[in-house]
Amino acid sequence: MNTLFLLDAAPAQTTEKLSIFKLVFDPASLWIMIPLMLMLVWVIYVFIERFLAINAASREERNFMNNIRDFIHEGKLDSAMALCKGNDTPLARMIEKGLSRIGKPLNDISTAIENTGQIEVQKLEKYVSSLGTISGIAPMVGFLGTVTGMVMAFHAMAANPNNLDITVLSTGIYTAMITTVGGLIVGIIAYVFHNILVSRISRLVNTLEAKSTEFMDLLHEPV
């Protein structure tokens, strides 16, 4: 009976559930979280936009190079040019530039194709470097918010040494720490997305180099 009485008399301890939404939009850390959220929105936008653009650039019409070879051997350069104009891809524009230089020295043709390829790659890399920048900046911005929050929390503690409230102090500290968490999340996402895009661009560049070499070999073939 005494045990039951003590259990009933003990005050019920309630723990408040941690609300991520409340932490993210806490006024104390909002000045850091807003830039981090803007970075995240930009990272997602660039990744989706560039991913779709790279996929579109990687598409190649079936038998494209075979048709180009046949047109060149048959002397139908106009048909070959028309085929390239009908394909809105970096490869088609590179081959079109090479076709427009036929009759000139092979070195000139190769240089023209290479220059066109560099322009196309630069188009594909548009905004991709910003993801790499954000992957490095976001964690530092988050850490800045944490350090600032910690300084403010300990300053408040030093200003009222006789009226310390561990609840207020701990709340201030974990509110400040959320900025580091946010910065790391944004940085990791940006880093992964950046590497995915760079990898796909590198794969496409290798394909373009192989196709341009195939085109130059084609010009050496006997008609």
Range in 3-12, 70-79, 124-133 with the lowest mean pLDDT: 3-12
- Integer angstrom CA distances of residue 13 from 16, 51, 166, 177, 190: 10, 51, 17, 25, 41
Decide if 80 contacts 68 (C-beta within 8 A).
Answer: yes
What tens digit of pLDDT does each residue of 179-217 get? 889 999 999 999 999 999 999 999 999 999 999 998 888
The single-letter DSSP state of residue 163 is: S
**Distance from the Cα of residue 216 to its chain's centroid:** 34
Let me know if 179 is exposed, middle or buried by CB neighbors in 10 A (0-12, 13-18, 19+): buried
What tens digit of pLDDT does each residue of 23-43 get? 666 666 778 889 999 999 999
pTM of the model: 0.81
